[in-house]
Structure 1
């Protein structure tokens, strides 16, 4: 069956600042195809710095006329977002044909999968009082894990923000994400001062620039805090990160890793090395976001994952079949991704 590729464009509620500039919308493609007469749907939503560009993604998808063949020939290996969409459409169709949810199809003989996945709330850069208020609101909404964005303000101010969030939400797991903003000296000063104040953190995410593999490894040995890497995985193979002992936690994005199965394979590899995996999105639309939920659930007993990103979009391709309730997302009913939830999608390419 001919593979159908339809572009879409979704505005963000608020522009997002990234290391590659500000983005105010997400552009991508819905990919539809069939396996033995059973239709499947996938999503490619490229993110600069993590995947190929939108134009390169489209060029790669234009090469696809059969879902399975596109994966087996390797024509999408340099286009992870395109590969994600094709892989997802293929697995959606196959799991529907098997009358299984995508998570059960992906997990295969693995241990029991999770029916619900805990997710973290994210608190952006803000003042001390605003940070405390946001952490308290997240805890009141049922979140057991809150991630604070740090690295924009002086280290001393970020430590104050962590302390305020801890006081405001004493029972939640706190994570901090510097997005590679700190130097080694700044990162060491942060972990030292957090430790001196007895502030508990689940982990510190990407404290150093992406290419600082040795720096992350050194930081791990100098602190009791766990170190997670995110941006590093866009520039360095997981195998290299594990070999360098550079992380306690990998932040895995299925869109950037080339699809659900590849992401699970990397999580399994990390687990064998004693490294935890947290599944997150790249601010995807609902199809890919739901797929990331299935991937997280296939881990069996996942930690809080970064999947609560749908609210960042001003509109979406369809109603969310897995909304966040009390800090958790439940696997949608029905076979495949979400039964018939994505039978029709709003793919108007204009925001």
Structure 2
């Protein structure tokens, strides 16, 4: 594999998305393409996506510089992935690693998830992946109505945003959801790092009777010690998401700070590293779910393959395509009845993305 090219893009969000690290209004990045020279198999082509997100990955300019240093937009350097630091420039590494993995899977005539699973001696990947619906920060009536609509659409796992209101208000909202949907759906709550230690403890105690699957990121990302102390006797399981941008996986596992980790392939530096992180976490007794950094369809499809390669994966946060006003290409794995079907063609999705090269 010797030739590579970059295609810049910008995708507007349907509406600004508020996060713990500030609002997201647009996603900019690069489609990364790799192709063989004339002496290699014509099928050994691949597509990747590098879409950096401030606070999670490097900047757009750093991503561009790293990709070009590895030989993208010309002839690839020898062992190009070794030139991309997954901690310093994870989005750049994701784009190139995905393109190379897509090419390898297409050349082997198997799906990306099958390629990833085979590399790690994992069982055959799933054909479908369950996904959660995300319920925003409305009042109890609006929150319960949104949850009921999601269940009617086939979702059996709901993630409710909390932390912007008082603990009393959030407890009332979650109670309204539980009353509305009963046991038809698992409930998760996502605080996006909004609470201090005292407030987080109060919230977990108040939420405990509601049978939550977990509370995600109850403390600020930097407070790993606090997360470990909170989890030690928490009445509700703890998931960490943003903390994995501030701390490496070993630190999170050593601190015993999570029952679940949320794996974003773009932030981990590629589908290969994301799957390896999930496997390592599960070996340590920590579950793993997969989500995105509000990526374009190429990276979202890769995240679906990563999730499919995790045996018996829990519902994942992959229903994010609707957050974009437009996209790079039609989605080969749209959400239907709370699940996505994993593309079975060679590589990412057969030739679905060939027009992006």
TM interval, short-chain normalised? over 0.9
- Is contact 1:3–1:64 with CA below 8 Å preserved after alignment? no
- 1:339 matched to 2:340: no
Give the match for residue 80 of structure 1.
90
- Is contact 1:3–1:67 with CA below 8 Å preserved after alignment? no
Q: Distance in 2 between matches of 1:163 and 1:179?
A: 20
Q: Distance in 1 between matches of 2:87 and 2:243?
A: 19
**Which of 54, 61, 65 pairs up with 1:59?**
65
- Is contact 2:70–2:81 with CA below 8 Å preserved after alignment? no
Q: Distance in 1 between matches of 2:203 and 2:275?
A: 32
- Is contact 2:217–2:242 with CA below 8 Å preserved after alignment? yes
- Is contact 1:159–1:193 with CA below 8 Å preserved after alignment? yes
Q: Secondary structure at the match of 2:7?
A: strand
- 1:131 matched to 2:139: no
> What is the Cα deviation at residue 168 of structure 1?
1.2
Q: Distance in 1 between matches of 2:206 and 2:239?
A: 19
Give the match for residue 3 of structure 1.
4
Map 1:262-277 → 2, pairs under 5 A? 262-277=273-288
- 1:194 matched to 2:207: yes
**Which of 158, 176, 193 pairs up with 2:170?**
158
CA 1:68–1:296 in 2, change beyond 3 Å: closer, same or farther?
farther
Q: Distance in 1 between matches of 2:77 and 2:98?
A: 9
Give the match for residue 33 of structure 1.
34
Q: Secondary structure at the match of 1:148?
A: strand
Alignment RMSD (CA, Å)? 1.4
> What is the Cα deviation at residue 221 of structure 1?
2.0
- 1:43 matched to 2:53: no
Q: Distance in 2 between matches of 1:173 and 1:182?
A: 23
Q: Secondary structure at the match of 2:79?
A: helix
Q: Distance in 2 between matches of 1:242 and 1:5?
A: 36
Q: Secondary structure at the match of 1:18?
A: coil
Give the match for residue 159 of structure 2.
147
> What is the Cα deviation at residue 34 of structure 1?
2.1
Q: Distance in 2 between matches of 1:210 and 1:256?
A: 14
- Is contact 2:86–2:268 with CA below 8 Å preserved after alignment? no
> What is the Cα deviation at residue 55 of structure 1?
1.1
> What is the Cα deviation at residue 217 of structure 1?
1.3
> What is the Cα deviation at residue 63 of structure 1?
1.4
Give the match for residue 263 of structure 2.
252
The TM-score, its normalising length taken from structure 2, stands at 0.94
**Which of 194, 198, 204 pairs up with 1:185?**
198
Q: Distance in 2 between matches of 1:20 and 1:237?
A: 18
> What is the Cα deviation at residue 20 of structure 1?
3.2
Q: Secondary structure at the match of 1:136?
A: helix
Q: Distance in 2 between matches of 1:68 and 1:101?
A: 26
What 5-or-longer segments of structure 1 have no aligned partner? none
**Which of 93, 110, 129 pairs up with 1:117?**
129
Q: Distance in 2 between matches of 1:125 and 1:247?
A: 24
The TM-score, its normalising length taken from structure 1, stands at 0.95
Give the match for residue 174 of structure 1.
187
What 5-or-longer segments of structure 2 have no aligned partner? none
Q: Secondary structure at the match of 1:13?
A: strand
Q: Distance in 1 between matches of 2:243 and 2:86?
A: 22
Moved more, 100-109 or 20-29: 20-29
Q: Distance in 2 between matches of 1:159 and 1:176?
A: 10
Map 1:250-329 → 2, pairs under 5 A? 250-329=261-340
- Is contact 1:40–1:92 with CA below 8 Å preserved after alignment? yes
- Is contact 1:113–1:301 with CA below 8 Å preserved after alignment? no
Aligned length: 344
Q: Distance in 1 between matches of 2:194 and 2:170?
A: 12
Q: Distance in 2 between matches of 1:85 and 1:202?
A: 32
Q: Secondary structure at the match of 1:344?
A: helix
- 1:212 matched to 2:223: yes
CA 1:77–1:243 in 2, change beyond 3 Å: closer, same or farther?
closer
Give the match for residue 103 of structure 1.
113
Q: Distance in 2 between matches of 1:262 and 1:155?
A: 36
